[in-house]
Structure 1
Amino acid sequence: MSGTRRLEKQFIILGGYSMCVLVVRNVIGTASASTPDKAKPFLDKLCNAVDLKTPTSVDFSGLSVLTTVFLNNSIGKLGSLYSVSELNKFIKLDASSLTTFQKKKVQMVMENAKQKLSQEEIKGEID
């Protein structure tokens, strides 16, 4: 094989527990996290981590572009697929790997996802 293959995941040991590190740039194969098509493989990896009950830290380092479209189609969708308890247990976002501007985008997407779920719950009780 000519060339090297970058690892999508790394494992670290924290306090005696093993945690997978999911590097977004490696999963999507580019420094531009910008489209729904690029979000799909990332969402699949996140879902796989929760399904397999694998504690996973998400590393956003090395991204030059991180759009809300990408975030809505990955992190934003997780809330409709899994409980908050499951997500808190198995998915950790490495805030230190985000710029200040990127952190604000992630926070906005997470807040919007929470509001959407709350509205759907309220509508479900009214119907």
Structure 2
Amino acid sequence: MGKLVVREVIGTTSASTPDKAKPFLDELCDAIDSKRTTSVDFSGLSTITTAFLNNSIGRLYSLYDVKKLNEYIKLESSSLTPFQREKVQMVMQNTKQKLSQEEIKGEID
């Protein structure tokens, strides 16, 4: 299993802006496309914003199905503070809910 250290990918301890999310998203997509199981390590990050998470982890849900994400991407929850873990979970739940609502709307329209 490969390991992806977010701090090393973005080159800073502050995962705060959407533009910082792009290289992280690219690495995640590369791992999935290469069918390489990857563990994501968030250690050493002082800040993780929802803007960063929405433009990285949140975007994955619009690019890949949940089964594929669960198969290849493993988030190391132990590398997150409790507050950071809540943000990650919130972004994942909101993204899943938004996608489900769009699917329902598409079936109705």
Confirm or deny a common fold (TM above 0.5).
yes
Q: 1:91 aligns with which of 69, 73, 80?
A: 73
| Greater relative contact order (Cα < 8 A, sep 6+) | 2
2-side partners of 1:126 and 1:72: how far apart? 27
What do residues 53-86 of structure 1 show as CA deviations (whole Å, max 9, x unaligned)?
0000000000001101000000001000001110
Give the structure 1 partner of residue 94 of structure 2: 112
Percent sequence identity is: 75
1-side partners of 2:15 and 2:91: how far apart? 14
Q: Give the aligned residue type for 2:41.
A: D
Is 1:62 paired with 2:44?
Answer: yes
Which runs of 5 or more residues in structure 2 are unaligned?
A: none
Deviation of 1:124 after TM superposition, in Å, equals 1.0
What do residues 5-58 of structure 1 show as CA deviations (whole Å, max 9, x unaligned)?
xxxxxxxxxxxxxx0100000000000000000000000000011000000000
Calculate the TM-score normalised by the size of structure 2: 0.99
More helix by proportion, 1 or 2?
A: 2
More strand by proportion, 1 or 2?
A: 1
* Secondary structure at 1:54 match in 2: coil
Calculate the TM-score normalised by the size of structure 1: 0.85
* Secondary structure at 2:74 match in 1: strand
* Secondary structure at 1:101 match in 2: helix
Q: 1:50 aligns with which of 19, 23, 32?
A: 32
2-side partners of 1:58 and 1:43: how far apart? 11
2-side partners of 1:108 and 1:65: how far apart? 16
* Secondary structure at 1:73 match in 2: helix
Bigger Rg, structure 1 or 2:
1
Which runs of 5 or more residues in structure 1 are unaligned?
A: 1-18
